[in-house]
Amino acid sequence: MKNFCIVHIEYYLSCICQLFFNLFKILIAIYMQRFFMVKPCPKEMKCDVEVSTYAIRDVEEYKNFCDRPKDQQPRPEEVIGDISEHLTTIYMKRCERGKRCLYEGSTPPDGFPNTWNGASYSTSELAVLKNNEIHTWNRGYDDDGNQVWGGKGGPYEFKPAPASSFYDILSPLKTSFSA
């Protein structure tokens, strides 16, 4: 029974990672050019999923990445060489029953170093909702704690396109849950 639980938890976490991977492929295509690494949180952390973002060395090479045929996309061994600096890590927990979200999380309160557009650090909040929306709120602050970039009134809300427009993107997700 103990081994079954371990395998079940590992399968559950791999399904979560697959879900996040597929949702973030959509987010990357429409919002920002970043690499996302999604993995289970380390055991010592009080979270379920860790989402780290990295800059891309050659952003031009990844324009319209998701719209290209597979043979025109960079190969995995090429992608590894294109990973640049670590930007943020968001620690996500499964949402409590009754909430609209599946997972939600944020960077630590003091954020991560960030020098873009006059900032000295940035914070990020992320929520994956039950209706497949992704809400993300990224903000940059100067040394005095003044917000210098990012949304002021709330997160950016990414709503799913009609099912037929991203069937190909989500097809790996469907097969991973059908086992």
pLDDT (tens digit, 9 = 90+) per residue, 36-60? 888 898 888 888 988 888 888 877 7
Model pLDDT, residue 28: 45
Model pLDDT, residue 133: 87
Q: What are the C-alpha distances in Å from 78 to residues 39, 83, 125, 130, 160? A: 21, 9, 30, 34, 29
Model pLDDT, residue 165: 53
Terminal Cα distance for the chain, rounded: 20
Segments in the chain below pLDDT 50: 1-15, 26-31, 166, 169-179
**DSSP structural state of residue 179:** -
**Helix 167-177 and helix 2-30: axis angle, to 10°?**
180
Model pLDDT, residue 9: 42
Nearest to 126 by CA among 55, 23, 41, 33: 23
Model pLDDT, residue 4: 36
